[in-house]
Amino acid sequence: MKKTLLVLLSLSASFLALSQTTDTKSKIDLSNRAADHFMIQYGADSWTNRPDSVRTGGFSRHFNIYFMLDKPFKTNPKYSIAYGIGIGSSNMFFKNTNVDINANTAKLPFTNVDSANHFSKYKVTNIYAEIPVELRYFSDPANPGKSWKAALGIKVGTLLKTYSKGKNLVTKSGASVYGTSYIEKESSKRFFNGTMLALTGRVGYGIFSIDAGYQFNGVLKDGVGASMNKFSLGVTISGL
């Protein structure tokens, strides 16, 4: 997955290099190009360097939405700086594993429940307030809807909420205990890093792009569990 991020970043760098041409001296009319827009992201998440006790399963995923401002470079409008604010969420699903985020212990317990009652669906969700910043490149900056584009960036987030959610408690043989609609939630942030720092990259055409992100500080606080980082791969929908 890290290789995928490196490929995206390399492609982005290649696009940026292509902008070093003589046509940057010509006038490009950006009067019809929006200065602000929404950016929506959806895709898959994983925690890298997981020990055997952290048994993720199912489609772990993220959903992010940002309001962005875009500022083209006056010297070369193929480049721009964009920054904004928004909400990011990461949903990590686990297979027959209980994550006791309210545990009164020094370390966050990941408990194997193969031979005990467990939830058929179980996840831990982190919700962040985020500030993304991107350096962007457009092959046709006057017509972003018909332009190849690339971006390199960074995201800074602060953790707003962490909760676990289990649905449909079943026995070890798979029989439902309380019915398939039964849900149990717990909420606590104390084991998770309150600050999220991530490198981002994306490449695309028109309003669609493939994006990747790598949280380079740990998902968990130091000393409470394994040193794991979050990797994301997904699709971005954005006017710019």
Q: What is the pLDDT along the chain (240 residues), one digit of tens a residue?
A: 555 555 455 555 554 454 444 444 457 888 788 888 999 999 999 999 999 999 999 999 999 999 999 999 999 999 999 999 999 999 999 999 999 999 999 999 999 999 999 999 999 999 999 999 999 999 999 999 999 999 999 999 999 999 999 999 999 999 999 999 999 999 999 999 999 999 999 999 999 999 999 999 999 999 999 999 999 999 999 988
Both tokens assigned to 134: 């991107």
Assigned domain for 27 exists: no
Q: Pull the structure tokens for residue 197.
A: 């720092």
Q: Do residues 3 and 210 touch, judged by C-beta distance below 8 A?
A: no
Residue 22 lies in a domain: no
Secondary structure (3-state) at 226: coil
Distances (CA, A) of 44 to 29, 118, 229: 37, 24, 14
Domain limits for position 193: 2-17+33-238
**140, part of any domain:** yes
Query: How many separate domains does the chain show?
Result: 1
| Residue 195 within a domain | yes
Answer whether residue 94 is part of any domain: yes
CA angle centred on 162, ends 134 and 228, rounded to 5°: 65
Please indicate, yes or no, if residue 43 is contained in any of the structural domains: yes
In a domain, 23, yes or no: no
Q: Where are the alpha helices (DSSP H) in the chain?
A: 2-18
List phi, psi (to 5°) of 220. -100, 155
Residue 60 lies in a domain: yes
